[in-house]
């Protein structure tokens, strides 16, 4: 896996993929049955979690595409296309633009934002939860979302 600094000139955001967006894109997925939108890694586009992010602010400021996407018209176009109605603020925004412009992101390995919440396993994702949750490498940063305890190791 390349290092984020290898992409510093063309990749303004570095973030970790996330699982709870599959249901958010239900209508788009129904209309586009062969889409990768909402599918699990490594080949899918599951969405992003902003618990750990590295932002290349200079690249963000200089990116014409990113700045267009900040405009109400840019947001509206993507929201309409993907039938997107989010409720998680920055995660929603980055997820929505990532469905269309994944090249704006460098996806961090799961070890840099190891989410511990298993709520989705019992709420609609039981059969595919492990495809999103799996992380077999030594963890660097734990993310105690859903009030989960952080391991002591």
Q: Is the model's pTM score more than 0.75? A: yes
**Are 116 and 23 in contact, with CB atoms under 8 Å apart?**
no
**Are 93 and 50 in contact, with CB atoms under 8 Å apart?**
no
* 64 vs 123: CA distance, rounded Å: 39
Pairing status of strand 142-143 against strand 114-115: parallel
Residue 15 has a pLDDT of 61
Residue 110 has a pLDDT of 86
Handedness of CA 39, 131, 150, 13 (dihedral sign): negative
pLDDT digits (tens, 9 = 90+) for 69-109: 999 999 999 999 999 988 888 889 999 999 999 989 888 88
């Amino acid at each position: 896996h390349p290092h984020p600094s290898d992409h510093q000139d063309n990749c303004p955001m570095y973030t970790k993929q996330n699982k709870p967006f599959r249901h958010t894109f239900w209508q788009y997925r129904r209309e586009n049955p062969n889409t990768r939108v909402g599918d699990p890694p490594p080949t899918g586009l599951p969405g992003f979690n902003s618990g750990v992010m590295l932002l290349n602010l200079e690249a963000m400021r200089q990116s014409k595409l990113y700045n267009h996407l900040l405009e109400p018209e840019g947001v509206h176009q993507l929201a309409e296309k993907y039938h997107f109605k989010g409720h998680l603020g920055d995660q929603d925004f980055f997820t929505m633009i990532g469905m269309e412009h994944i090249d704006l992101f460098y996806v961090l390995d799961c070890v840099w934002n190891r989410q511990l919440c298993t709520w989705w396993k019992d709420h609609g994702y039981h059969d595919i939860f492990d495809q999103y949750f799996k992380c077999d490498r030594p963890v660097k940063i734990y993310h105690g979302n859903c009030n989960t305890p952080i391991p002591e190791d």
